[in-house]
Amino acid sequence: MKLTAQLTYGLIACILLVSAPHADHLPIWVSAECGALLLWRAYLARSGKALPPRWLLLGITVLSVMAIAATFRSLFGREVGVTLLILLSTLKLLELKAVRDATIVVYLSCFIIITNFFYSQSIPTALFMLATLLVILATWVHLQTGTLAFKPRLRIGGILLLQAIPLSLILFVLFPRVQGPLWGLPQDAYASSGLSDTMSPGTMSKLSLNDAVAFRVTFDTAAPSRDRMYWRGPVLWDFDGTTWKRGRNPTTLEGVVEDTGMPLSYAVTLEPHNKRWLFALDMPNKLSIKHRLTPDFQLLSDKPVNARIRYQADSFLSYRANPDELPRQLQRALALPRGLNPQTQELAESWRTSHPNDDAAIVREVLRHFNQGGYVYTLEPPLLGANGIDEFLFQTKQGFCEHYAGSFVYLLRAAGVPARVVTGYQGGEYNALGDYYILRQADAHAWAEVWLGERGWVRYDPTAAIAPARIESGLSAAVSNPASLPFMARNPPAWLRELRFNWDAMANQWNQWVLGYDNETQFAFLTRLGMEDISWQKMALNMLAGIFTLVGVFTLLLLRRLVVRQTDPVQTVWLKLCRKLEKAGLPRKVHEGPQDYAARVIATHPEIAADMNDLATRYVALRYQASHDDTALSAFKHAVSAFKL
């Protein structure tokens, strides 16, 4: 097999297809360089010119690697690895010398496909993978066939792929899964998006532009009303003037809830966010996976959530949380940076004077202030300076939930009421198709908790005082200028919503059954299928049995058309006539041609002379005059059927 231009185009297509999905996270110059190199290679293949000399390739390689090292400031890690792999495979195309090199390019492209799964494993990615595989297989077959045209090659590749799908399904279901990781992962192994453990102006409003799914929830019983769905995340205590932080809890005692109602039970499928916290409704009670509950009711996983996980949780919607809070914690809930925001301080102190012993009344004052002070709920608040709270409360009066939650807690602390900021998600979009709720990054929210002595920590949401619609119906109803929201977070037409729900329901199934198929799911699934005492030996045996059965079926199917004896339709009809005559005691002799045979028949049976002559003539005409005449053939057929002795 020679390295023809056709084959080179195929290899270029392979590399192009496998690296294209990486274009949006590769450094732009790498994408440009790879594109240019591929174009150059295609030009060389087309014009038949010689490949560039070795020193030039070596120079380009060294320079590119140095540039990558400079861009990433490292030569290790996942991103760098992927970048290098793509660049070097592209360069490999420029030194194709033997079929061996072409084989290496094919293997490399298979390998590059897998690197794309670090970034996306969605259904479209899977479909694109199949299309890419098809092209790779067609090119691969080209390596072995040489002269075969593109279409039959694509056919061979397609059939191979179609047959491989059921086989790999068996492998996928029954291949014993090992819980990774096998070795330490580089720092950048997982993408992280979503809530962070700090809050400053802009944190939440930035998230509200992110349409990505944070988690999905299925309630075992009826779902609570939307305004009670507060999905608790990081709790923020410490404020430095602009940023709220978690700080350190002085104790490891779990938070205590009292006077609870009935627990509400539900299942959460959490997307990986590379942080340790898990989300549950206020207040979490139990969780089905290993976790830790902090004194301020945060749920922490024992390692960062870097794969999609599913857990069962239950929560109390009515409760008294930590009525016996430690004094040291209350101290933290009152701390403020010194010498900042004098106006705010003054306002808070005035409320304290009018309600010396009634913390709840001060809370009501603050909420009334927000409600009636001419405050606007907006995604695009003006920037704030050093005395941010003062500027916001008395001048700009425009803010998003982080502004309200932050200044609410600030005002209360200034008035001597212990309070803290809680972040998380609020609400959820119901998907009737799959009967579950979708929480998106855009649903990220910040609210406050106030410690009111006997009543413990009580949740207040200052945003509800300014924009109640945000809590009851969602972001698009509450923001004054929806145009700034991502398209789907506005109010899209009904059919589009429908389509989106369909898609998400499908994606949810995909996530649970394909992407979330780990050793636990495997165990559960196989048990449901009726397999008992599941062990890896048993799975391996079943897997082999399934594969052998299927391979057997394929063997039968594949080896079916290897011998096909041709029978001529004209001859078939003629043989039928011969059989008729044979039954009448006039078998044809082996050496007799149609005319001799007819003559002999006529000699003994002159009464059928006309018929016999006619049939023999027709047969000779059809068979030996090389004319394909369907009407003549069917006439001949009829004549033979009608023929009687």
Partner 1 sequence: MKFPNIRSSLKLKFRNWAFRRTVETGTVQLNQRRIYILPTRQFFGFGFVLILMLLGDINYNLSLGYVLTFLLATTGGLSMLYAFRNMAQLEIHAGYVEPVFAGEQARFVFHFNNPGTLPRHQIHLHDDDGHKTVFDLPAQTSTPIELALPATQRSWLDSGRLTLYTRFPLGLFNAWSYIHFDVRALVYPKPASPQPLPIAAAPDGNGKTTIRGDEDFAGLRNYVPGDAMPRIAWKALAREQGLQVKEFSAQQGQQLWLDWSQLPDIALERKLELLTRWVLDADAQGFQYGLRMPDGEVIPQHGASHRAECLRRLALFGVQPS
**Which residue numbers are catalytic?**
401, 445, 461
Q: CA distances (Å), 496 to each of 58, 250, 491, 503, in order?
A: 52, 50, 10, 10
Whichever of 483 and 564 has its CB closer to partner 1, that residue is: 564
Residue 235 DSSP SS3: strand
Whichever of 306 and 371 has its CB closer to partner 1, that residue is: 306
Our finding on whether 96 is near partner 1 (CB under 8 A) is no
Kindly report the number of other CB atoms within 10 A of residue 273's CB atom. Answer: 23
Stretch of 122-130, 194-202, 293-301, 622-630 lying at the interface with partner 1 (CB under 8 A): 122-130
Q: How far is the CB of 103 from partner 1 (least distance, A)?
A: 6
378 in Cβ contact with 399 (< 8 Å): yes
Our finding on whether 88 is near partner 1 (CB under 8 A) is no
591 in Cβ contact with 580 (< 8 Å): no
State how beta strands 263-270 and 309-316 pair. antiparallel
Determine the distance from the C-alpha atom of residue 56 to the mean position of all C-alpha atoms in its chain, rounded to a whole number.
Answer: 41
Q: CA distances (Å), 17 to each of 138, 404, 418, in order?
A: 13, 48, 58
Q: Which of 516, 525, 536, 639 binds partner 1 (CB under 8 A)?
A: 516
Our finding on whether 140 is near partner 1 (CB under 8 A) is yes
Our finding on whether 181 is near partner 1 (CB under 8 A) is yes
Our finding on whether 4 is near partner 1 (CB under 8 A) is no
First to last CA, the chain: 63
Residue 644 CB burial class (10 angstroms; 0-12, 13-18, ≥19):
exposed
Residues 310 and 217: their CA atoms lie apart, in Å, by: 9
Our finding on whether 150 is near partner 1 (CB under 8 A) is no
Our finding on whether 417 is near partner 1 (CB under 8 A) is no
Q: Which of 171, 262, 376, 496 binds partner 1 (CB under 8 A)?
A: 171
Q: How far is the CB of 534 from partner 1 (least distance, A)?
A: 18
* Torsions phi, psi for 590 (to 5 deg): -55, -40
Helices 519-528 and 150-174, axial angle in degrees (round to 10): 80
Residues 423 and 234: their CA atoms lie apart, in Å, by: 5
Whichever of 113 and 616 has its CB closer to partner 1, that residue is: 113
Q: Which of 29, 43, 76, 107 binds partner 1 (CB under 8 A)?
A: 107
Biggest alpha carbon–alpha carbon distance for the chain:
137
* Per rule CB under 8 A, count of chain residues that contact partner 1: 58
Q: Which of 514, 541, 610, 635 binds partner 1 (CB under 8 A)?
A: 514
Whichever of 141 and 214 has its CB closer to partner 1, that residue is: 141
Binding mask 269-308 for partner 1 (x = CB under 8 A): --------------------------------------x-
Identify which of 364, 332, 372 has the alpha carbon closest to the alpha carbon of residue 251.
332
State how beta strands 376-377 and 398-399 pair. parallel
Stretch of 46-54, 115-123, 286-294, 589-597 lying at the interface with partner 1 (CB under 8 A): 115-123
Whichever of 510 and 643 has its CB closer to partner 1, that residue is: 510
Residues 12 and 39: their CA atoms lie apart, in Å, by: 9
Q: Which of 59, 146, 373, 587 binds partner 1 (CB under 8 A)?
A: 146
Interacting residues with partner 1 between 530 and 569 (CB under 8 A): 551, 554-555, 558-559, 561-566
Our finding on whether 103 is near partner 1 (CB under 8 A) is yes
149 in Cβ contact with 21 (< 8 Å): no
Q: How far is the CB of 325 from partner 1 (least distance, A)?
A: 40
Our finding on whether 111 is near partner 1 (CB under 8 A) is yes
Positions that interact with partner 1 (CB under 8 A): 103, 107, 110-111, 113-114, 117-118, 121, 125-126, 129, 133, 137, 140-141, 143-148, 156, 160-161, 163-165, 167-168, 171-172, 175, 177-178, 180-183, 185, 189, 307, 514-518, 551, 554-555, 558-559, 561-566
